[in-house]
Amino acid sequence: MDGLPSAELDYHDALRRAHRALWDAGVTADLARPGQDLSRYRLVLAPALFLLTDAAAANLRRYVEHGGTLLVQYASGCVDERLHARLGGYPAQPLREALGVRVEEHRPLRRGERIVLSDGSEARSWSESLRTDSAETLARYTHGMLTDRPALTRHRFGSGQGWYLSTRLDEAAYTALVRRLAAEASLEPESPGLPQHVEAVTRHAVDGRAWQFLLNHRRDTVPLPDPGHDLLTGTCVTELPPGGCAVLRRF
């Protein structure tokens, strides 16, 4: 993005990666603004918060304090809504209080440069000199000027948890992290038992009725762990062919 410290800070790519990691875990995701009511979500991923208002920072802090699990990623809370640089450290207060960390320096990586963290995961594009105030360090940098400095942290704040990731993990490590967060937030796949790349979304009516939408993105036929009456064909379906779809009535 123009005007940012690294050309590899890509807003749309960050959103895509977060959504894909949840999708791969079988978790249905909403897109929500950081300033809106987040209380109904057990887990919130905030992958691209370079611009953050005071009200949104306070709202995210409140979300964690009241029991939510929040993952904030690198280069967050750097400017306000007028694109004025934040003073006093990053991310913006009062969000920083919920994360228990303070970013002291941004360190963009060279194009193609890869780094390894203490848990064996690899990362690229970005790193930060991070100081923990009250957060627990879960992974550290292993070489260069940031050797032994925190890379991934977790902070128990109020009745929730604020996580901070200061680098861009590779796809496998990022997906594993999101799966861990989903598990710790007690998020179950929309339809347990379905293999990866079979999409499942359930919609509920106010009168208690529910419908499950299934879409098989795979190249093989998959059996359904919970067969049902398909509203599209009027028959009971027990499997989905490649590219197949079904709408099942769930009560």
pLDDT of 153 > 80? The answer is yes
Residues 158 and 235 occupy one common structural domain: no
User: Which secondary structure element, helix H or strand E, spans residue 57, and what is its range?
Assistant: helix 54-65
For the stretch 217-248, what's the b/e string if a residue is b when 16 or more beta carbons lie within 10 angstroms of its beta carbon? eeeeebebeeebebeeeeeebeebeeebebbb
CA end-to-end distance (rounded Å), the chain: 47
Residues 32 and 89 occupy one common structural domain: yes
Average pLDDT of the segment spanning 49-73: 97
pTM beyond 0.85: the answer is yes
Domain of residue 231, CATH code: 2.60.40.1180
**What is the domain extent for residue 41?**
11-184
Residue 135 domain flag: yes
Residues 169 and 207 occupy one common structural domain: no
Residue 81 domain flag: yes
What secondary structure does DSSP assign to 183-241, as a single string?
HHTTPPPSSTTPPTTEEEEEEE-TTS-EEEEEEE-SSS-EEEEEEEEBTTTSSEEEEE-
User: What pLDDT does residue 2 have?
Assistant: 56
Residues 163 and 203 occupy one common structural domain: no
pLDDT of 1 > 60? The answer is no
Residues 166 and 211 occupy one common structural domain: no
Residue 141 domain flag: yes
Overall number of domains in the chain: 2
Confidence of residue 3 (pLDDT cuts 50, 70, 90): low
